[in-house]
């Protein structure tokens, strides 16, 4: 059994809000007509506390002619220097596009880590993040940190680190597989459990280029 452990950290992001400056205008033009409706103070407070969040889009993903169609058979996704480049909330990253099927019932996208099979050398692992986008490649859900847990595969005698993403309706969707730039070249400890109290801990380096496996799991 492989167990993935990462160093925990808290990232504080300070968002600045630009103030609106009113231009100088004649006094009579700035007067509010008597019949103009006033905005309640409570409504102004609600707008300030709940700002409209603009969805992020990746139009360059539509130009990727090598997108992988997710199916019940496991597909290996390879992120390389030739992959499309995009800006995500966690920083810039190469990414790959996975086309999701349009099922009426809810299903899960299964994502598996691949150890010791990377583009550069052994003892490396690509820990992916995923953003689910609509048919226009605009954000629906951004999953920066997936919950990978040891799970037995259909034909595997050992457990594999897997994460599951729920897909809820039949509208056209895609998954963009990318990496969290904040953790580039950091290390993770992987503990192999051989049973009978025998364990071995290995250290892997997180990389931004490499392999992950995906498939549909209903």
pTM to 2 decimal places: 0.70
Quick check: is 36 in a domain? no
Please state, rounded to an integer, the average pLDDT across all residues of the chain: 75
**Mean pLDDT across 93-101:** 95
Least confident of 31-35, 134-138, 159-163, 173-177: 31-35
Residue 23 included in any domain = no
Distance CA 125, CA 54 (A): 33
Domain assignment present for residue 39? The answer is: no
Residue 84 in contact with residue 188, Cβ under 8 Å?
Answer: no
What element of type H or E holds 27? helix 27-30
Phi-psi category of residue 65: left, alpha or beta, with phi > 0 → left and psi -120 to 50 → alpha: alpha
Q: Is residue 194 part of a domain?
A: yes
Q: For residues 150 and 199, give the distance between their C-alpha atoms in angstroms, rounded to a whole number.
A: 15
In which domain, by residue range, is 125 found?
55-217
- Spatial separation of the C-alpha atoms in residues 122 and 76, rounded to whole Å: 17
Residue 53 pLDDT > 90: no
What average pLDDT does this structure show over 119-124?
A: 64
- Across 135-157, average pLDDT: 81
Domain-embedded: residue 50: no
Q: Tell whether 124 is covered by a domain.
A: yes
Asked if the structure places residue 88 within a domain, the reply is yes
Number of domains in the chain: 1
Contact (Cβ atoms closer than 8 angstroms) between residue 137 and residue 218: no
In this structure, is residue 1 part of a structural domain? no
Instruction: Please provide residue 163's backbone torsions phi and psi, each rounded to the nearest 5 degrees.
Output: -130, 150
């Amino acid at each position: 059994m492989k167990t993935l452990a990462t160093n925990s950290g808290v990232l504080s992001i300070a968002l600045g809000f630009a103030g609106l400056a009113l231009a100088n205008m004649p006094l009579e033009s700035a007067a509010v007509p008597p019949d103009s409706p006033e905005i309640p103070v409570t409504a102004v407070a609600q707008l300030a506390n709940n700002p409209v969040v603009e969805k992020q889009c990746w139009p360059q993903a539509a130009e990727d002619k090598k997108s992988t169609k997710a199916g019940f058979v496991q597909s290996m996704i390879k992120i390389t220097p030739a992959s499309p480049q995009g800006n995500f909330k966690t920083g810039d990253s190469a990414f790959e596009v996975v086309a999701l099927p349009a099922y009426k019932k809810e299903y899960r996208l299964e994502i598996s880590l691949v150890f010791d099979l990377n583009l550069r050398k052994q003892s490396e692992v690509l820990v992916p993040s995923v953003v689910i986008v609509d048919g226009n490649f605009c954000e629906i859900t951004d999953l920066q940190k997936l919950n990978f847990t040891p799970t037995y595969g259909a034909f595997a005698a050992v457990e594999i680190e897997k994460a599951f993403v729920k897909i809820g309706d039949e509208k056209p969707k895609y998954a963009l597989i990318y990496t969290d730039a904040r953790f580039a070249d950091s290390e993770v400890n992987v503990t192999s459990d051989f049973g009978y109290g025998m364990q071995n801990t290995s250290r892997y380096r997180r990389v931004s280029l490499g392999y992950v496996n995906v498939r549909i799991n209903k």
